[in-house]
Amino acid sequence: MAEILVLVDHADGAVRKPALELLTLARRIGEPSAVVLGAGEAAASIAATAGEYGAATVYVADGAEFTDQLVVPKVDALTQLAKEKGAAAVLVTSSGEGKEIAARVALRLGSGLITDAVELEAGENGPVATQSVFAASYQVRSTVSHGVPVITVKPNSAAPEAAPAAGSVENVAVAFTGNAAKVVSRTPRVSTGRPELTESAIVVSGGRGVGAAEGFAVVEKLADSLGAAVGASRAAVDAGWYPHANQVGQTGKQVSPQLYVAAGISGAIQHRAGMQTSKTIVAVNKDAEAPIFDLVDYGVVGDLFEVLPQLTDEIGAR
Amino acid sequence: MTLKIAVCVKYVPDATGDRGFADDLTTDREAVDGLLSELDEYAVEQALRISEESDDAEVTVVTVGPDDAKDALRKALSMGADKAVHVNDEDIHGSDVIATSAILAKALEKTGFDLVVCGMASTDGTMGVLPALLAERLNVPQVTLLSEVSVDGGTVKGRRDGDSATELLEAPLPAVVSVTDQSGEARYPSFKGIMAAKKKPVEELDLDDLDIDADEVGLAGSWTLVDAVAARPARTQGTIVTDEGDGGKQLAAFLATQKFI
């Protein structure tokens, strides 16, 4: 069966959920192999998890290069493996770095590249990827017509399904090409303990209507009662009320959760581009004319400082 | 020595318009007015700031696109770029990002550069991979997704605010960088800048000038194939209630029916 290489994104010694989604999708188009790079001592447990989610083989490479240099060492490793193993496709998570890695691998392999797939299935001419474009107003189905398909897939595009496989580990020596930018220092972001924005099943976002940085407290309380991630509109981020890492929209994160709660967000095209593919959309806004209400499954015209705390209390009482 | 800074910009359909596809499943450029991609304005801004910090620097703005793409170049020139290069050839129509990166790389080699500055992504395709592809083709380091960038002697330094960490990065020149919308507000062109831009040189190049065969680019030279395009069904508006003191309770009841709580 055709071997599909899956680059396993990991953080703090654990597999990140989008990698499990990729392994699940990879099974639709062939036999998944996982590629674990620069995980250090955590490689063994990461490999075991990859095996539980369907990886027949787990290629492991370690080295300071993967953490001390930008992008290129991972490109070196993935390209080398794709060539040596005669991979039928390469799948990478659609993060900023993931897309850059995929692009350079595609170029080196002489392959077509598809980014930001939201669906992946087998087709007569190789994997068929669905993309959601122009602020999610169109769905585009594409195939790669030349070379080994290299495809990046957005988080939350599939539910991870366990499927125990051999997960046999093969250590790989990578020939590094160099010419990469150096990481001079790395300061980990202090964890809020909340789920990762792009991976979370529920997102609660605040916008201009929140009024001030302190106003986000009600948004955070609701998020915590739902086990949700916190997002913010560009207006709220530009005002300095919430960190840019939490921005949902065309120039921020694009999210596709099961439930999206927009509080005090009018729903400009820029924001809609980042959340329009959410399964269920709920909005709370004082302005009954706000365009966000055109998208919602349920909308409350009202003051978010009254509606959100009441909702939070109700959730707590259930 | 003059520090040669090249800024890659894209002319894109206005995101506030009704964007769509032409019969050949490429972006319909007739239906909606175009403009300089907003995210590229940040690249122009950073190039200008680096130039202003340098004793001797020159900013060249480069684009690949149809006749109208000149508007994007003019905007960048009116912000303060020194000159422009426009690669325009009918055989380029339909090029995917990998083909486009081949054209841009040749144009950059012809123009010459110490530093290439790009936006983090275009506002139409939103792929965000062009800077990485250019670095690969030009065989220089990439220092991408920066919220802060500076040039110090022969080194480019930058700060990347990632999801899990903030990283300080550096690479020797020549290099390719990309900057985010957090890098600093882009300046508005002054009246003087707009008038001056009309006199600034715009070099026109076609595929022959760059020694590229027509079948290496355009739809023929692109290695991805769009099979189908469909408008996403518009979302239908659900229930809207006005809060009369129990809005939160009603919302909770809705979320309970959907099994979220």
DSSP structure string for A89-152: EEEEE-SHHHHHHHHHHHHHHT--EEEEEEEEE--TTS-EEEEEETTTTEEEEEEE-SSS-EEE
- CATH dotted code for A3-171: 3.40.50.620
Query: How high is the ipTM of this complex?
Result: 0.94
pLDDT value at residue A270: 86
Cβ contact, residue pair A295, B237, below 8 Å: yes
For residue A253, give every residue at least 6 positions away whose Cβ sits within 8 Å of its Cβ, in sequence order, or none: A197, A198, A231, A246, A247, A274
pLDDT value at residue A136: 76
Q: How far apart are CA B18 and CA A307, in angstroms?
A: 34
Per CATH, which fold does A202-317 belong to?
Rossmann fold (3.40.50)
User: Per the structure block, which two tokens stand in for A250?
Assistant: 């065309």
Q: Would you call B39 an interface residue with chain A, using a CB distance cutoff of 8 Å? A: yes
Looking at residues A247-260, what average pLDDT do you find?
91
Domain spans of chain A?
A: 3-171, 202-317
- Domains of chain B, CATH where assigned: 3-210 (3.40.50.620)
Cβ contact, residue pair B15, A189, below 8 Å: no
Label residue A251 by pLDDT band (50, 70, 90): confident
* Span B60-100, pLDDT tens digits: 999 999 999 999 999 999 999 999 999 999 999 989 999 99
Chain A partners within 8 Å of B32 (Cβ): none
Cis peptide bond upstream of B13, omega within 30:
no
pLDDT value at residue A44: 97
Q: Is the pLDDT of residue A192 over 90?
A: no
What residues of chain B score a pLDDT lower than 70? none
Looking at residues A275-287, what average pLDDT do you find?
95
pLDDT value at residue A135: 74
**What helix, strand, coil percent values describe chain B, rounded to 5?**
30, 30, 40
Beta strand pairing call for A14-15 and A10-11: antiparallel
Q: Would you call B167 an interface residue with chain A, using a CB distance cutoff of 8 Å? A: yes
Q: How far is CA A111 from CA A102, B223, B238, in A?
A: 10, 7, 44
Exposure of A59 in the CB half-sphere (CA atoms within 13 A): 23
Chain A residue nearest residue B184, CA to CA: A238
Q: What is this structure's pTM? A: 0.94
Q: Is the pLDDT of residue A222 over 90?
A: yes
CA dihedral B191, B147, A113, B115 (to 10 degrees): 70
Q: Which residues 222-241 on chain B approach chain A with CB closer than 8 angstroms?
A: 222-232, 235, 237-241
